[in-house]
Chain A
């Protein structure tokens, strides 16, 4: 220990040490990669710098999928997984759409009903995991199957077109609105930032606050890091498992509502593409699958990187098949680096001892 302490100031002053620290910092590396890729795609295809058709949708999708990533992050924080993330989103969108179509609810009351449903389904998943003591991924996968059937059945029995198409007042504003529409005097917000970024940033800050500042967050992480130790330290682990899945369901619901509002219709297809991105965001961001550690802002960067690759490739006219191959490879690569990171972390710790 002492030898390390005497060495540290000298090391810290050296420029190479700083550079190494920065490159090892996941968030900095991700940010750098995002900027490089963005510039690279832009140089290769100048159309990529188009604000209205490329950057704005990219940021809007980033807003939605960041929330979806956070939904998965909540489950990952306790070492669980939520494979029903897409279907929980679908259920939320369905109930919100139902209230708009059948009861002519306003925008906000419908959103509240949708979010409450998402949270309830999430809590049910958590309760089932606690009671059955089965792996979270088996429970959520079978829940996913059941919900898939249920959601499709509701749509086909209540509508002709298998979608709720009633749009409450204000939905178009949410879809196309940007901060540029809001001015204080002559000072307007940047028109490239979509309005949907607001719920996303709010969710991001709240999740960050919960995990870094509150007792609840510490208890969740303790549950994920070591269930038995958490139990012995008086953490109500069973209740925390339900809480984590409830948060996951709530955020998945929010993601589903955001997607439904972007696409303009409430159908069973909402959320069907959520599973892979929901893992890519947090894992690229630095969240460890084993639980006990989360990277909230990293999730946003990871999501942005994923969508940037997707958007960049599709602007270049590369089809769905190559896109799938690329994203799958990114996931496998990210998983391998997770292993590498754990390996380095363990090695370093040994070095200190």
Chain B
């Protein structure tokens, strides 16, 4: 019943097939043009392993978009968390598992702080996270200075290389996290309350939902996801420096926006976000294949995101029509 009342796609059931089609066609064209090298197990493993982080940061942004806000600090939170975990392991000989737990807790705490600041100041998350972003960049710079921290346990990096039947562990973790998040929004009252706040805060309050709790929850989940993304990046990279996280912002917005999340809040599209992260990755693969300048990725993604935003009014109207037909 709830499913019909709230616009948006929760589970893998009712989804748009456009993105998967684009993904497959794009991959086939690139593979054919590369003369088959892209079809090798090695290449595929590389594509999937480096897809894990974009998926998670896209979801981290999506959760905040679901309450109609933004998290500009995603990259800085991730950078600071990576720097913290790397320095703990390299300089203080903290075991891997403990460092990962500390990192996850740290990122979650950062999310909670964002949420609390948003609630106290009653301002949009965007401007608050602009402030926390600046502070965290300072923290990250202070932790790693101008060095690259790479003297941490090689077990983590080995884990990052492993795979089951050609599918990297990192990618499996990302998909598992996406599935859990999907269940959270589809099946739990807490997830639905969060969407209700995003859809219409006044209506949510009148139905007895605490908007304060929803806002803090959204930023908290965003923090947890950033923590996961940080752990995945440490496992997939050979060292941590001050530039980590600097290029997370655009993909974090591109995935949910292209994936079909309404920017006014109230919806999530987990399958769409995962698929769109794949499309973003494909643009990057294409850039590498034709050895173009990295700024092409920014340009192409920027244009795609801008056109998606420009078409969003039309998309919203379509979503509303869908809702009406579902109700009738």
Contact = CB atoms under 8 A, between A and B. Distances in A.
A and B found bound together: yes
Interface of A: 81, 83, 128, 131-135, 137-139, 141-150, 152-153, 156, 275-276, 279, 289, 319-329, 331-332, 335-336, 338-339
Query: Nearest 9 CB-CB pairs, A to B?
Result: A149-B299, A146-B302, A324-B138, A328-B134, A149-B298, A328-B135, A145-B302, A152-B295, A321-B141
Contacts of A81: 126-127
Contacts of B120: 336, 339
Given A322-B142, A324-B138, A147 B127 contact: no
B237 interface: no
B135 A324 contact: yes
A149 B296 contact: yes
Interface string B137-163: 111111000000000000000000000
A280 B127 CA distance: 11
Nearest to A337: B121
B183 to A, nearest CB: 28
Given A137-B124, A321-B140, 13 more contacts: A81-B127, A134-B313, A145-B305, A148-B298, A153-B295, A325-B139, A328-B138, A331-B130, A331-B131, A332-B135, A335-B123, A336-B121, A339-B122
B295 A131 contact: no
Interface residues of B, number: 47
Contact of A325 (B135, B254, B299): B135
A137 B142 contact: no
A280 B60 CA distance: 27
B305 A335 contact: no
A22 B73 CA distance: 37
Nearest to A332: B131
A138 B265 CA distance: 12
A135 B134 CA distance: 23
B130 A276 contact: yes
Given A149-B299, A149-B300, A156-B295, A338 B137 contact: no
Nearest to A128: B310
21 contacts: A83-B126, A132-B309, A132-B310, A134-B263, A135-B264, A139-B309, A141-B70, A145-B250, A146-B299, A148-B295, A148-B302, A149-B297, A324-B134, A324-B135, A328-B137, A328-B138, A331-B130, A332-B117, A335-B127, A335-B131, A339-B121
A324 B295 contact: no
A54 to B, nearest CB: 23
B148 to A, nearest CB: 16
A327 B133 CA distance: 11
A141 B253 contact: yes
B196 interface: no
A322 B296 CA distance: 33
A142 B306 contact: yes
A213 B265 CA distance: 38
Nearest to B143: A321
A335 B121 CA distance: 7
A328 B298 contact: no
Interface string B289-312: 000010111111111011011111
Interface in B231-289: 250, 253-254, 257, 263-264
B131 A134 contact: no
Contacts of A325: 134-135, 138-139, 142
Nearest to A331: B131
A279 B127 contact: yes
B295 A149 contact: yes
B104 interface: no
Contact of B141 (A145, A276, A324): A324
A143 B257 CA distance: 13
Contact of A143 (B136, B141, B297, B306): B306
A130 to B, nearest CB: 10
Contacts of B142: 321-322, 325
B30 interface: no
Contacts of A148: 295, 298-299, 302
B128 interface: yes
A279 B123 contact: no
A249 to B, nearest CB: 16
B132 interface: yes
A226 to B, nearest CB: 17
Contacts of A144: 302
B254 to A, nearest CB: 8
Contact of A134 (B128, B138, B302, B312): B312
A133 B298 contact: no
A238 B162 CA distance: 55
Contacts of A133: 313
Contacts of B296: 149, 153
B313 A132 contact: yes
Nearest to A83: B126
Contacts of B140: 321
Contact of A145 (B134, B136, B301): B301
Contacts of B254: 145
Given A131-B310, A131-B313, A135-B264, A335 B295 contact: no
Contacts of B128: 332, 335
B145 to A, nearest CB: 8
A264 B16 CA distance: 51
Nearest to A144: B302
Contacts of B313: 131-134
Contacts of A338: 121, 123
A275 B257 CA distance: 22
Contacts of A276: 130, 134
A149 B302 contact: yes
B299 A153 contact: yes
B267 to A, nearest CB: 14
A324 B302 CA distance: 27
A286 B305 CA distance: 33
